[in-house]
Structure 1
Amino acid sequence: MKFAKDTLMVLNQPKILVVGATGKFARWVIPELMRRDAVVYALVRNDARAAVARSLGVAKVFIGDLRNTDSLAEATRGMDGVFHIGPAFTPDEAAMGIAIVEAAERSGVKKFAFSSVNQPTNTRLKNHASKIPVEEA
């Protein structure tokens, strides 16, 4: 079978899913991953966010919910890596983070990057404490 050089490059590029791709911080990860020759995918929660993700240049957008294991399974399937930053101050942020970690594991994702906080053990700050279970997962 013969492939064009561009086709071979795409086959060798890592496929990275960025969770929360249009958020305040994760949106800055996308251009850096693309600069490093990754094919970037986005997991967002609705059509409006999908349009923003497309404007950032992602290869494909998955509309899903961190509380829905089926949408996480679909988004992580075939990915080489996942970059996750949880939705801060969400009461079930830890459960959502664990869900994406578990979906990535089930899908055979090789690398998982979690954007946490500097002092997750500062449990007086609820948004910091919610990172501990995700880091453990």
Structure 2
Amino acid sequence: MRAPWKVCDIVSDDRCASSLSPPALLRASADASHLVYCVIAVLCPRNIHKFPILENMKILITGAAGRTSGYVIKDLLERKGVPASELRLLVRSDEAIEKVRVRFPQLGHSSFVIGDYLEASTLPHAFKDIDIVFYNGPTFTPLETAMGIAAIQAARNAGVKHYVFCSVHHPFLTKLLNHKAKLE
């Protein structure tokens, strides 16, 4: 049986809002009866250092070539002292790998994985032997919800212990399309 995820507070800047309900994105994951929700909305990337257990854990950063994930990588390497060898970076192309390597030359020994949320066959390798996933999916795409569900399912199938979902501030403001997709 897969290890259940722990229930965590939602972190927003320096405030905790544990009274917020998990987003529907997690509720929609298949066979949720075996899943205890773990939701940490890192609305400010500097809060990743508050995640208490990073020692000896393999961390997958999705969208690693993006701005927000870049802040997370920087914080993990510099403030938390996470060895580059403990990071696995999910990107969409060889060009994205080069972009990340230019910014973080110390990642030469890190495991880069090219994958696509809409190609299920590319995800198992990315999530294999991972303890923590930092998921920062694409925005402003009509397939954002499906991509998020695919990532959650891949994490669940791989037995990931912790899932950090990077969301938006006030996802309940559904008139903003990217907020609605995060909530769904």
Shared fold, TM over 0.5: yes
Residue 66 of structure 2 aligns with which residue? 23
When you count helix as a share of all residues, which structure comes out higher? 1
CA drift of 1:68 comes to 1.2
Which residue pairs with 2:100 in the alignment? 53
* Alignment equivalent of 1:41, drawn from 74, 78, 88: 88
1:99 is matched with which residue?
150
Per the TM alignment, residue 31 of structure 1 is displaced from its structure 2 partner at its CA by 2.0
**Which structure is richer in relative contact order (CA contacts within 8 A, separation 6 or more)?**
2
Q: Distance in 2 between matches of 1:19 and 1:61?
A: 10
Percent of paired sites with the same residue: 39
Identify unmatched segments of 5+ residues in structure 1.
1-11
Tell me the C-alpha RMSD between the 2 structures: 1.4
- Offset at 1:53? 2.5
Contact 1:34 1:40 (8 Å CA) reproduced: no
In 1, Cα distance between equivalents of 2:154 and 2:56: 22
CA distance in 1, matches of 2:134, 2:150: 14
**1:73 and 1:107 in contact (8 A); partners too:** yes
What code does the residue aligned with 2:113 have? F
> Is 1:33–1:40's contact at 8 Å kept on the other side of the alignment?
no
Distance 1:88 1:114 in 2: 13
Stretches of structure 2 that go unaligned for 5 or more consecutive residues are 1-54
SS of 1:130's partner is: helix
Taking structure 1 as the reference length, the TM-score comes to 0.83
Matched length:
122
Provide the secondary structure at the position in 1 that maps to 2:71.
Answer: helix
**C-alpha displacement of 1:118:** 1.2
Aligned residue type for 2:65 = T
Moved beyond 6 Å, runs of 4+: none
Deviation sequence 1:28-65 (CA, Å, 0-9, x none): 10122224225111100001001122332431100010
Distance 1:54 1:13, change over 3 A: farther
Trace 1:64-75 onto structure 2 (pairs within 5 A): 64-75=115-126
Match of 2:164 in 1: 113
